[in-house]
Chain A
C-alpha cells in the first residue's frame, strides 16, 4: 500500500516538476529543476533524490530537444562543485553559503544556455551579454527562493522544538 502511494507520489512529482519547469521557462525564462534539486538534495536522501532527478533531467532533455544527458551533466557538475566547496570550506549556513550558491546558480544558468548546442550541432553557443546578464537576475530570483524556503523550513523546525523541554 505504502509502495503504491510512494509510486503515485513519484509520478506526480515528476509531472509537477516538468510542468513547473516549462511554465517558469515560458514565464520568466528561468528553469527551476536545478533550483528544486538544490533545495531538496541532502546527504541523507541522495539515493532517492539523484535517481529521481536523473529521470526528470532525461525527460527535460527530450522535451527541450537536447541530447540525452545534457541537463543531467550540467546540473550534476554544478551540484558536485557546490558539495565540494561546502565540504572544503565547511559551509552549512550563513551569508557565505548563499554567495557560493549564487555563484553556482549563475554558473548553471550560463552553462544551460551555451552547452546544449555543443552536443547537438558540435559547437558551444556564444557567451555574450545577452547570456550573461539575464543569468544574473535568474540567480537573484533563485537565491530569493532559497532564502525564503530556508526561512520557512527553519520556522517550521523551531515551532516543532517549542514543545520540547530545553536545558540552558
Chain B
C-alpha cells in the first residue's frame, strides 16, 4: 500500500515512463517493419470506421460552412445570375448577327444581283402567323406590293406600309394567290438555273390548312417532292416557294391539286430582304 501522496505520484510517473519506453520500443520495431501483420489487421477493422467518421465530419463541415457563408453564397449566386443573363443577352445578340450573316450570304449567293434590296428585320407576326411585321417602311423606300424574299426564296408581299414599318402578307394568308410552275430539274439547293424546265403550270392559294396548289395538269408527270417556283407577273422573277406534298391522284378529276411545303420556316425568320426596284 502506498504510504503517502509522494509515493503515489512517483508510482504514477514511473508507470507513464514505462509506457513511454514501450512507445519507443514500438517505434524501433516499426522502423524494421516488424509490425506489418498487426497493422494490416488493425487497418482492416478500423479504417472503415475512421473513413465513415471522416466522411460524416467533412459533410457536416461543408454544411456548416455553407450556412456560415450564406450571405457570401447569396451574393455569389446573384452575381452569377447577372452574369448568366448577360451571357444570354450576348448569346441572343450573337444569334441574331449569325442569322443576319447567313441571310446576307444566301442573298448574295442566290439573289438577283441586278435588283435593289432593303434588309429588314422581322419584329413580330400576326396571331395566325399569316403576316409578318417588318422594321422598314416608306422612309427606307418600301412600297405596297413589294416582294419580300431571302435569296431566291419567296417570303411574301408587302400588304401594308407606313413610315417606319410594314406588314408582309405570307403565302399562307387567305388573300394570297400566285401563278407558279412546277419543276424537278433546274433548281439545286434553291438556286434556279436559266432556262427553267417547267413540268406544269399551276396556281397557289393560301388556306387554313396551308399553301394549296391547284390546276395542275393531269397529263404532267408531277410527283410529291417536285419544286414549286413562282412565276407571276406581279412578282417579276422566279422565286422558289417550296415542295409539293399530298398530291391528289383521282383519274376522274380534270386537274390535280395538293399542298406546298414552304422552303422557308416562317416562324423562325429574323432577317428578310425587300425588293424595292
Enumerate chain A interface residues (CB-CB to B < 8 A). 15, 18-28, 43, 46-47, 50, 54, 57-59, 62-63, 67-70, 72-73, 76-77, 79-80, 83-84, 87, 119
Contact = CB atoms under 8 A, between A and B. Distances in A.
Contacts of B23: 54, 57, 69, 72-73, 76
B19 A26 contact: no
Nearest to B39: A62
Given A59-B42, A63-B43, A26 B55 contact: yes
A23 B53 contact: yes
A18 B20 contact: no
Contact of B60 (A20, A27, A68, A87): A27
Interface of B: 8-9, 12-13, 15-17, 19-20, 22-27, 29-31, 35, 38-39, 42-43, 46-47, 49-58, 60-61
12 contacts: A15-B46, A22-B51, A46-B12, A68-B38, A69-B22, A69-B25, A72-B19, A76-B16, A76-B20, A77-B20, A80-B16, A87-B13
Given A43-B8, A68-B29, A119-B27, A19 B49 contact: yes
A93 B22 CA distance: 31
* Most chain A CB neighbours (cut-off 10 Å) among B9, B38, B56, B57: B57
Contacts of A54: 19, 22-23
Contact of A22 (B12, B24, B25, B50): B50
A18 B49 contact: yes
A27 B29 CA distance: 33
A43 B9 CA distance: 8
A154 to B, nearest CB: 21
B30 A22 contact: no
Contact of B13 (A21, A68, A83, A119): A83
Nearest to A67: B30
A73 B42 contact: no
9 cross-chain pairs, A with B, having the tightest CB-CB distances, nearest first: A26-B57, A69-B26, A22-B53, A27-B57, A72-B23, A69-B27, A68-B30, A23-B53, A22-B50
Given A22-B57, A27-B61, 18 more contacts: A15-B49, A18-B49, A18-B53, A26-B54, A26-B58, A28-B61, A43-B12, A46-B15, A57-B23, A59-B42, A63-B46, A63-B50, A70-B27, A83-B13, A83-B16, A84-B13, A87-B13, A119-B27
Contact of B39 (A25, A68, A80): A68
B46 to A, nearest CB: 5
Contacts of B56: 23, 26
Q: State the main secondary structure of chain B at its contact with A.
A: helix
A64 to B, nearest CB: 8
Contacts of A27: 57-58, 60-61
A25 B39 CA distance: 21
A68 B54 contact: no
B15 A47 contact: yes
Contacts of A23: 53-54, 56-57
A57 B53 CA distance: 17
A19 B48 CA distance: 10
A20 B46 CA distance: 12
Nearest to A46: B15
Contact of A50 (B19, B24, B38, B47): B19
Contacts of A79: 16
A50 B42 CA distance: 19
B61 to A, nearest CB: 5
A68 B31 CA distance: 9
Contacts of A57: 23
Contacts of A22: 49-51, 53-54, 57
B19 A63 contact: no
A43 B35 CA distance: 31
A18 B12 contact: no
B14 to A, nearest CB: 10
Contacts of B13: 80, 83-84, 87
Nearest to B10: A87
A99 to B, nearest CB: 20
